[in-house]
Structure 1
């Protein structure tokens, strides 16, 4: 890749290297932390772009957040299978955001595209720039306020890493039923903490 990387791209490359090293060493916790930090800023970035592309809908703010969450699910799913790409991770995110927006319009027809590895992308200019991790953390804090550390870990596994309830149960040494019970409690708390304008429905139902 070009040595003329901007600060966001350098950050992405650093976290991808860290995730690859952790995966090679069998360090599940280290890999999870690196991937979570890698994709978190793209929630705010994806929401900003989506908001500008879906004007005219009844609730663009809530729908843009839905698209951003879909983007994070796609990126997490893709990163579970590979951690090296022929383009910048920002380009990977831009391609997946494009498909997430298309799926948003197609949803009534139940037509869904798959996460993509845009190895041949050359001319994507995914503006606006990626926000800092601190800015994204502030966005997520409004949802996670009031959650215990364990609940926050479960929420990250479900919403950010897109793990199944069975995978979460295995990761945390819990029974599947306990995960379901905890998740319903987490969703209730997150609804109560959701910013004004966010649609009150469960986007991550088990």
Structure 2
């Protein structure tokens, strides 16, 4: 499998359950070994190239407060205290959680937990954000809130890949669609050229 990722691009990753969507995202994030070719276009001055956000945000929550959760990864990569504070304040304002910085993250709503999971990764300044079913566990209100956050991230000129079963929900913000079947790419192209057989399938 050969795949090229581009910054400033939003791609939807579609496929039936078991098609390999989560596995591909984990490969892109360096969590799984892979023998194929994956290339990324973008800048080289970021802390990490890719950042992976799990489907269930609670699996990523580590800190006892929202603030502690965001700074955990930043401390681990050895940033100075001033830079950690700067990034944490910035990212919590971007996702709209700054006023909750001292709150227990497990007391947040589902949508807020998803925002926190995204914030913790975004603070690391990856060029590519990999979102694994970011709206799967959310109600209509929280799905919309997360989508609005993704729009804000688009303005930061990140590359974004969204693995989802809610494809049409994201059609208006995506440019590209990648369709998997049994671990193989069966379509990779512009969203406006997506074959009709795929449109209502996922």
TM-score, normalised to structure 1, is 0.28
Q: Greater strand share, 1 or 2? A: 2
Bigger RCO of structures 1 and 2 (CA < 8 A, at least 6 apart): 2
